[in-house]
Amino acid sequence: MGTVDKNCWMRDPQHLDEPLNPVVCFRRDFTLSSAGNVRITVAALGVFDLYLNGEKLTGEELFAPGWHDYRFRTGKRSYSVVLDKGTHTVSVLLGSGWYDGKIAGKDRKNPALFIELLLPDGQTVSADTLWQCANDGPYIYSDIYDGEKYDANRQWQNWHAPELCCFDVALEEPSAEPVCKIKRYLPLSIRRGIVDFGANITGREVLRFTAPQGSVITIRHAEVLNADGSLYTENLRKSNSCNTVIATGNPQVYEPLFTFHGFRYLEVAGVEEFEVEAWSIRSGYRMHLDFDSSSGLLNQLVRNISLSWQDNSLAVPTDCPQRDERVGWLGDAQVFIKAAAYLSDCTAFFRNWLKDVRLHCSPDGAFPIVAPFLTRFEYYNVAGWSDAGVICPWVLYEFTGNLEILRENYPAIRAFTLLRRRNFEAGTLPEARFGDWLNLDDPTSPELIGCAYLCYSTEFAARCAAELGETADQEMFESFLARYKLYFQKNLASGMVSQTAFAHALHFNLLEKEQIPSAVDALVRHIREKSNTHLATGFLGTPYLLHALSGHGHADLAWELLEQTTYPSWLFPVLNGATTMWEHWDSWTPERGFKDPNMNSFNHYAYGAVLDWIIGFAAGIKPDMDIDPHPGGTLGFMKVTFKGLTVYWEKVADGAYRCEITVPEDVPAFFRGEKLSPGVHEFIL
């Protein structure tokens, strides 16, 4: 055995401080005196694939061990395998992932590998002087933003001793589903080298081809096409999103290793004859919502919302999968988490991410705006974004009833709530740095947004305290909330002018009883007269607008907005070929073409938060399985299956609706508070 330090990591001493670096291979031989079980534990600051005697052990997992706040933790993976007596070779491919490469920005560092083999005789193999590493293999680089350059003509040859180093980083067992392949897509068409897969996905391609040795094949990715049929890539900004393959002269099958792309279209250049397919990838949680209705447009909207959620849940909840961003924005997550919970069993996914939200808190207790940590987004206590640290745990609890979720987040929630109270007493409201992001010329005052979210988060903090039996905290937070609402009523209510302002005031229950009727009337007038029955809300107002209307006697108007087909509306992108949710209401219009490419994602789930209203109000399925449907609009029927329970309603004679609820054996359910037995129940609404 070599000299061993069990606390040691390994990294390539030839690593260069550059945005794009090669994948590094580490290898070591070890000898067993008798057959037996070998347990291998691997962790990385970066991403890895593990091999034993040339066979991949990482299985279906991609980007192991995921993305974490590397200042404090990373994931580890363990594998057990029975080996015969004799000499064996363990090898690991280590890539930049989120630790190095362009996404890391100025936080970029040399990736590092931790590995430990427990042999049948009790000996341990870990980082020692018998390991070798090489950086001159086929993966010239494999970067999340820029894609991959791969040359199978190159072989690992420059073997040298790794640098041994130590990191004070917790190694954690996986607490959420790993990233894996989800769905295979075949081309709808291939014209002049441009491949259309029919849906905007997060994933990568598998290309089969033969080309003369040394030929350069480039594979570019795009979400949409220009009018002339070429790839529209301006919105990728500084993300190159291109895979480059150097041909060997023999038949090849190419699939990227440590990169992913957001795309519907590929452009394959450098080879004329090829076969190609694509795979979507994401964290491997289970989907548990089925939706159908008499409206094909609404059905497509729900499919778009679902696909955008899946496309933006690769290791962490991200904002977009295509451009030079792809980070864990808290604001996007908090507005969408209810929709995500209706769509999928995403509890473990979000709990894992919330660890990094808590780790990224400021010393005084403020939640950040992104997690995991990235220096370029190091801002705290931002209204509508930082509130995710309170809102997301509460929503997960609503859908699961799991008190442990509240317990693990409560200390951070309490610190945050007390910090905001101190700030309020000092005359400071939470900063609305981003306002009502991407609203349509209908801005909301920063003070109103700051106070509205101050109230909203404090209410959830009080609820958390109540559920956990923290009575003193509950009473304290409720007293805070009463003070904040009074401030809103006296200082901000008279200044409400936007759809979002009214939606927040009404849905967050911020107004005095006598203020509500005029606020409701003003919101209706705004929508009908100023906006011509269209949306004007941004990220922070959109999730609550329909709830504010339906909760105050105007469900008919909420349905009109949902079914509106002209810009700006939810169905306008659907009518214009969208297969995912757009970042802007007008990411593209026939009159103006594309929005400013500096920020124009065609796969951004935030506006899909309307699914919460569709399922929770229209279908009437509450997180606790209390069913209260509200049919309406022009729909003849709606059918929703959530966690095995099905709600179906259809329009019958005289404007009435027949509702059928099918309750499985293992699902406790209620209808307007009354317990339902397993079986089929029919009601007239």
Burial class (CB within 10 angstroms; exposed 0-12, middle 13-18, buried 19+) of 269: middle
Query: Exposure string (b/e) for 307-338, b if CB count within 10 Å is 16 or more?
Result: bbbbbbbbbbbbbbbbbbbbbbbbbbbbbbbb
Long-range contacts, 489-495 (Cβ 8 Å, 24+): 489/515, 491/447, 491/451, 492/445, 492/447, 492/448, 492/451, 493/519, 495/445, 495/448
Of 313, 342, 341, 344, which Cα lies nearest the Cα of 329? Answer: 313
What would the DSSP string read from start to end of 495-556?
G--SHHHHHHHHHTT-S-GGGHHHHHHHHHHIIIIISSS-----TTTHHHHHHHHHTTT-HH
Is 209 within 8 Å of 247 (Cβ atoms)?
A: yes
Is 28 within 8 Å of 125 (Cβ atoms)?
A: yes
Is 649 within 8 Å of 637 (Cβ atoms)?
A: yes
Give every CB contact of residue 453 below 8 A, 6+ residues apart in sequence.
383, 384, 387, 430, 432, 540
Tokens of 533: 């029955």
Give every CB contact of residue 665 below 8 A, 6+ residues apart in sequence.
678
Query: Exposure string (b/e) for 352-373, b if CB count within 10 Å is 16 or more?
Result: bbbbbbbbbbbeebbbbbbbbb
Distance, CA of 442 to CA of 575 (rounded, Å): 24
| Residue 372 preceded by cis peptide, ω within 30 | yes
Tally Cβ neighbours within 10 Å of residue 495: 12
Place of tokens 């808290």: 330
Catalytic position from the list 61, 223, 459, 583: 583
* Planar angle of CA 174, 334, 585, nearest 5 degrees: 120
Q: How many CA atoms lie within 13 A of 602 on its CB side?
A: 29
Is 179 within 8 Å of 63 (Cβ atoms)?
A: yes
Answer yes or no: 116 catalytic: no
Distance, CA of 208 to CA of 190 (rounded, Å): 14
Burial class (CB within 10 angstroms; exposed 0-12, middle 13-18, buried 19+) of 251: exposed
Burial class (CB within 10 angstroms; exposed 0-12, middle 13-18, buried 19+) of 683: middle
Is 208 within 8 Å of 588 (Cβ atoms)?
A: no
Distance, CA of 8 to CA of 2 (rounded, Å): 13
Tally Cβ neighbours within 10 Å of residue 389: 26
Catalytic position from the list 61, 177, 267, 325: 325
Burial class (CB within 10 angstroms; exposed 0-12, middle 13-18, buried 19+) of 602: buried
Place of tokens 């920063």: 446
Distance, CA of 641 to CA of 643 (rounded, Å): 7
Pairing of the two strands 252-254 and 194-209: antiparallel
Place of tokens 């008279």: 494
Answer yes or no: 583 catalytic: yes
CA distance to 80, 82, 115, 116, 439, per residue, from 40 (Å): 6, 11, 7, 6, 51
Distance, CA of 190 to CA of 268 (rounded, Å): 10
Q: Which residues are catalytic?
A: 325, 583
